[in-house]
Amino acid sequence: MKKIIFIIVCLWGLGVSCSEDTKIGTPDEILPDYVLPQGDASDEANDRIQDIYDTYGAYVLYNYSSKDAFWTQTAVGGSAQIYVIKLGETRYVDEMLDYIHDIWLQFFPDEFLKKGGIPYRVFLADSIYWDRSAISPGWYTCYNQRINGNSVSIAGMNKDLSGMSASIKKARKNELISAMWDYYIAQGLLNVPDEFYKDTDYEKIPALPSGGEEALEAYRKRGFLPSAYYGETPSEWFWGDYAWTQAKENDLKSFMFHLRERTDAEVAWFLNNPKYELIQKKWNILIDYYKKEFGIDIRKIGNTTFE
């Protein structure tokens, strides 16, 4: 009898709780982060920006709020790094879209760009600088681009675009591609094939390359390239024991530098030398890997000079 009464009480309580349920209303509308078109750029420019968003899910922005345009990053020691973005004039949006296509987007296939190859927000700016005037009045450090989270800011949207020389445009291409490549690696969009490191000895420290022609030749035969050039003079990444503790990273950077920034004519000295078989093997491993796995013609990047 007690069990029957208990069941009746439970059912009664359930009925009361159900009768007191509040109806759920219509959910709030989720508004987009930005409304396109943004402003008074040309119809063609606004249409191109809309197409980029529709195709890749990325906003290309030329009119944005202060919370987007200004951000603070904490430096070592707790001091603030204040980066400032100056908006460009909207009459230059068309040229700026051509510019970022020429120095960046044209080198990556659609499928890659759709997977995050274009960050969520691309800020088009007149200029970007680090305001250090609090330390010393008038002290500003200018940048051609800055990556912050899932956004990239690119400077140059001004009257200087139309008159930019081929050499400056090439330098801007190299700088932006290098920054974006690091971003892609960090985001897991790109990686490095293990095969690249397979046949290279990173344990035995070679004789210092600058010690003589014979030592430098042995260094090349072991599969190592310069890290940079001063004029036509190579600069070697290996200089003492510390650099050798990061041999793999330095080795990869030196190859990526040549692949992305040097033309065929500039790399012929090691590609046409039969003594440098390991360099040539590692070179082709990287070219083939990025072409096969990601559809990226990395030598197109290196050979584009805008001349």
Task: Give residue-wise pLDDT tens across range 81-139.
Answer: 688 899 999 999 999 999 999 999 999 999 999 999 999 999 999 999 888 877 888 78
The structure tokens listed for 174 are 């190299």
The arithmetic mean of pLDDT across residues 181-200, rounded, is 98
Look over the chain and give the mean of its residue pLDDT values, rounded to a whole number. 87
The CA distance from 74 to 187, in Å, is: 22
Identify the pLDDT of residue 32.
75
Looking at the structure, tell me whether residues 281 and 174 fall in a common domain.
no
285 inside domain? yes
Identify the pLDDT of residue 291.
98
What's the helix, strand, coil split of the chain in %, to 5?
50, 15, 35
Which residues sit opposite 148 in a β-bridge?
Answer: 151
**Which phi and psi (to 5°) does residue 143 adopt?**
-130, 150
Is-contact 133 140, C-beta < 8 A? yes
Domain that holds residue 80: 43-187
Looking at the structure, tell me whether residues 135 and 201 fall in a common domain.
no
Quick one: which H or E segment has residue 122?
strand 121-125
How many structural domains compose the chain? 2
Looking at the structure, tell me whether residues 67 and 120 fall in a common domain.
yes
Identify the pLDDT of residue 218.
86
* Type of residue found at 124: L
Where a domain ends, among 154, 187, 220? 187
Looking at the structure, tell me whether residues 179 and 223 fall in a common domain.
no
57: left (phi over 0), alpha (psi -120 to 50) or beta: left
85 inside domain? yes
Where a domain ends, among 169, 187, 205? 187
Q: What are the residues whose beta carbons fall under 8 Å from the beta carbon of 85, sequence distance 6 or more?
A: 69, 70, 123, 125, 127, 128, 153
Looking at the structure, tell me whether residues 117 and 206 fall in a common domain.
no
Residues recorded for the chain: 307
Looking at the structure, tell me whether residues 48 and 179 fall in a common domain.
yes
- DSSP 8-state class, residue 275: T
User: Which pTM value belongs to this model?
Assistant: 0.85
15 inside domain? no
Question: Would strands 59-61 and 127-131 be described as parallel, antiparallel, or unpaired?
Answer: unpaired
The CA distance from 248 to 243, in Å, is: 10
Looking at the structure, tell me whether residues 130 and 50 fall in a common domain.
yes
* Type of residue found at 162: S
Looking at the structure, tell me whether residues 178 and 263 fall in a common domain.
no
Sheet of 145-148, strand order: 59-61, 121-125, 151-155, 145-148
What SS3 class is residue 117? helix
Identify the pLDDT of residue 16.
41
Lowest mean pLDDT among 167-181, 225-239, 259-273: 225-239
The arithmetic mean of pLDDT across residues 20-35, rounded, is 61
Whether residue 12 has pLDDT greater than 80: no
Looking at the structure, tell me whether residues 161 and 220 fall in a common domain.
no
31 inside domain? no
Looking at the structure, tell me whether residues 53 and 181 fall in a common domain.
yes
Identify the pLDDT of residue 243.
82
The CA distance from 144 to 153, in Å, is: 8
Is-contact 25 17, C-beta < 8 A? no
pLDDT digits (tens, 9 = 90+) for 256-270: 999 999 999 999 999
* Angle in degrees, CA 277, 282, 283, rounded to 5: 95
159 inside domain? yes
- DSSP 8-state class, residue 207: P
176 inside domain? yes
Lowest mean pLDDT among 3-7, 77-81, 279-283: 3-7
- Tell me which of 215 and 174 has the higher pLDDT: 174
Residue among 144, 34, 37 nearest 96 (CA): 144
Identify the pLDDT of residue 40.
94
Identify the pLDDT of residue 237.
87
Looking at the structure, tell me whether residues 104 and 208 fall in a common domain.
no
Q: What is the four-CA torsion angle of 183, 184, 185, 186, rounded to 10 degrees?
A: 50
Identify the pLDDT of residue 28.
53
276 inside domain? yes
Where a domain ends, among 143, 161, 187? 187
Q: Residue written as tokens 């990047």?
A: 301
Looking at the structure, tell me whether residues 110 and 62 fall in a common domain.
yes
Sheet of 140-143, strand order: 71-74, 80-86, 127-131, 140-143
The arithmetic mean of pLDDT across residues 260-282, rounded, is 98
Whether residue 301 has pLDDT greater than 70: yes
